[in-house]
Chain A
Amino acid sequence: MSIPNDLKYTKSHEWVRLEDDGTATIGITQHAQELLGDMVFVETPKVGRKLKQGEECAVVESVKAAADVYAPIAGEVAAVNPDLESAPEKINQDAYAAWLFKLKSVNAADLANLLDYAAYQKILESEENQ
C-alpha cells in the first residue's frame, strides 16, 4: 500500500500536510477509503470554525457506512474542498489528492503527537493481523 512519506498521520486514519504558508491540509488515508469503499457523501466543517485537536469535524459516507473525521491538529477552518460535494468518489480515486479541508492558525505543536510514515505503517500492519 502506498503511503506518502512527507505527511503526518493519525491512528484514526486522517492525514495532514503542513504547507509552506503555515496552513495545514487534511484528508483521509488510502487505507481509510479502502475500508469504506465507494464514497457517496462528504460533509465538511464550516469555514471559520475553530477546531480542537481530535474534535469531530467532518463525515465521510460510503455506500456501506458513515465515518467521523477528527481534526488531527487544532486550527481554524480556512477552506473546504469544493469538488467533493458533487464528486465524493475523488477520495476513492486518490485519497491523498482529494483533501477535505484546510486549517489556518494551526497549533504546530500538535504535529508532535501525530504519526510519521513508519509509525502509521506499523498501525496498519497490526490492524491487518488482528
Chain B
Amino acid sequence: MSHMTSPFFLRYRSLKATTLNQTHRDMNAKMVDFGGWDMPLHYGSQLDEHHRVRSDAGMFDVSHMLALDIKGEAARDFLRRLVANNVDKLTQPGKALYSCMLNPEGGVIDDLIIYFLAESHFRTVVNAGTAEKDLAWMQAQRDKIAPGLEIIPRRDLAMIAVQGPNARAKVWQVIAGSQAETENLKLFQATFFDKYFIARTGYTGEDGFEIMLPAVDAADFWNALHAAGVAPAGLGARDTLRLEAGMNLYGQDMDETTNPLESGLGWTIDLKSDREFIGKQALLEKPVTRQLIGLILLDRGVLRSHQKIVIQYDAKAGQGEHGDEGEITSGGFSPTLNQSIALARLPLNASPEDEVQVVVRDKMLRAKVVKYPFVRNGKILV
C-alpha cells in the first residue's frame, strides 16, 4: 500500500502549534502537518464529525488562520485599493465581506474576510499557509498608499468555529448572556460580547458562529463547548463540509496563477464601480474561457484534485467540442450524498446535466455536471 494523493501531508520540519494543540492531543486527535501547522485531522472518524456538523453541532480550531487589525483613518481607502470586493458595501459596524486580494496580474494572493468595526478599524482574517506572504504584501501596499496605517497581527487571539443547526444554541448555553446580543445577527454580521468577537460566518454551509477570543481562554471555552455536546471536528471534516457547500479552498480552487473569474469568484469581484483596485486592469484585459462548476461522479470511485476531464462532446448536440479538457480543482467523497463530488474548471460551454469523463488512474469514469453548492443547511440541493 502506498499513498498516491494526500492533500494534508505537506512535509515541514518544525511545526507551528495553536494554543489548543495539547487539548486536541488530549482528545486523541490524529494530528497532521497542514501548511506548517500541527493540526487535528480528525478525532476518530471524520465521517462522524461531518455528520455531526450537518445534523447537530461541531467545532473547529481555526486559530492557525491569522486575524489582522487594520487601524487608522485611511483604513477604508486602503482596502478599496487592496481587495477586489468593494468595502463600501460595509456600512454597518460588525458587517463582514468575503473578498479576494489580487496581485497586479489579477491572480489571487489570498481570499479573506473583512469585518468593518469602525471607520478607523477593520479586521481581516487570512489563511494560515499564506499569512506571512499576505502580511508582507499588505505592508508593502500600506507603505505606498497609506503610510500611517497600522496593520496588527493578532496572534494573541484564538479562533473557534462552532457550526451546525444547533451551534448557536450551544454557544448561548456556554457564554452566559450572549443570546440577547447575538441572536439577531444576520449572516455575515459580527459583534463583540464580553471577551468574545462573535461572527455569524462559517465554512461548512451550516448556520453557526466563528468566535475569536483571547488565546489564553481558548482551552476552557473549547472544553465548555464539548461539555455542552459540541463535537470536536478536524480538518478532514472541514474539507468535506466546505466542498459540499461549494466553498473555494485557497491553493486548490484558486491561487496566484488562476483567474478568479474562472474560479467561481466572479460574485466577489467588483468590476462595476470605477474604483481602481489592484489586479482590476489585468482582469479586464484577460479573456475568460473557463468556469468553476460542480461534478457528481456517476460511476464508482472517488474524484480527486488534478484529475483531468474529457468532455463527452457527442452526448448532446452542440455541447462541448472534441478535445475540450478540464481539471478537477477539489474532489472527494461527499458523506451527505454518499457519492463522490468535485469542483472542476471546465470550458464555458459545459452546462448542468452534461456528462463528462474523468481520467482516474487507468479508467475513464462518468460524471454529471451540476451547479453547486451541493448541500446547504443540511439539505441536498443537486
CA distance A115 to B8 in the complex (A): 29
CB neighbours of B340 from chain A (8 A): 41
- Are B30 and A37 in contact, with the CB atoms below 8 A? yes
**In the complex, chain B residues 324-343 whose Cβ is within 8 Å of any chain A Cβ:** 332-333, 335, 340
Note all chain A residues with C-beta closer than 8 A to B263.
none
- Decide yes or no: A66 and B47 within 8 Å by CB, A12-B2, A60-B1 being known contacts: no
Candidates B30, B41, B42, B361; contact of A59 at CB < 8 Å: B361
Shortest Cβ gap from B25 to chain A (Å): 15
- Across-interface contacts of A67 in B (CB, < 8 A): 1-4
Residue of B nearest to A12 (CB): B1
Beta-carbon contacts under 8 Å, A27-64 to B:
28, 32, 37-38, 40-41, 43, 59-61, 63-64
Number of interface residues of A (CB under 8 A): 22
Q: How large is the interface on B (under 10, 10 to 19, 20 to 34, 35 or more residues)?
A: 20 to 34
A37 to B2 alpha-carbon distance, docked (Å): 14
Contact yes or no, A66 B4, CB < 8 A:
yes
Query: In the complex, which residues of chain A have a beta carbon less than 8 angstroms from the beta carbon of B8?
Result: 64
Q: Is the CB of A32 within 8 A of B45?
A: no
B1-23: contact bitstring with A at CB < 8 Å (1 yes, 0 no)? Answer: 11111111100000000000000
**Chain B residues closer than 8 Å to A40, beta-carbon distance:** 302, 333
How far, in Å, is B242 (CB) from chain A's closest CB?
A: 13
CB distance from B272 to the nearest CB of A (A): 40
Asked whether any CB of chain A lies closer than 8 Å to the CB of B103, the reply is no
> What mask results when residues 1 to 28 of chain A are scored 1 for a CB within 8 Å of chain B, else 0?
0000000000011100000000000001
User: How far is A45 from B1 in the complex, measured between Cα atoms in Å?
Assistant: 14
- Whole-angstrom distance between the alpha carbons of A63 and B8 in the complex? 12
Whether the pair B300, A41 counts as a contact (CB closer than 8 A) is: yes
Q: State whether A68 and B301 are in contact (beta carbons under 8 Å apart), knowing that A37-B41, A59-B361, A63-B240 are contacts in the complex.
A: no
Do residues B301 and A41 form an inter-chain contact, with CB atoms below 8 A?
yes
Q: Determine which of B2, B333, B335 lies in contact with A68 in the assembled complex, contact meaning CB atoms within 8 Å.
A: B2
A119, CB-defined interface residue at 8 Å: no
B304 within 8 A of A: yes
For A124, what are the chain B residues with a Cβ–Cβ distance below 8 Å? none
Alpha-carbon separation in the docked complex, A63 to B128 (Å): 23
List of B residues within 8 angstroms of A28 by Cβ: 1
B298 smallest CB distance to A (angstroms): 14
Scoring A41, A64, A70 by chain B CB atoms within 10 A of each residue's CB, the highest score goes to A64
Contact A70–B1 (Cβ < 8 Å): yes
B302 touches A61 (CB 8 A): yes
Known: A65-B5, A68-B4. 18 other contacts (CB 8 A): A12-B1, A32-B1, A37-B41, A37-B45, A38-B46, A38-B47, A40-B302, A40-B333, A41-B302, A43-B301, A61-B333, A63-B240, A63-B335, A64-B6, A64-B46, A65-B4, A67-B3, A70-B1
22 contacts between A and B (CB under 8 A): A12-B1, A32-B1, A37-B30, A37-B236, A41-B302, A43-B301, A59-B361, A63-B236, A63-B332, A63-B335, A64-B6, A64-B8, A65-B3, A65-B5, A65-B6, A65-B9, A66-B302, A67-B1, A68-B1, A68-B2, A70-B1, A70-B2
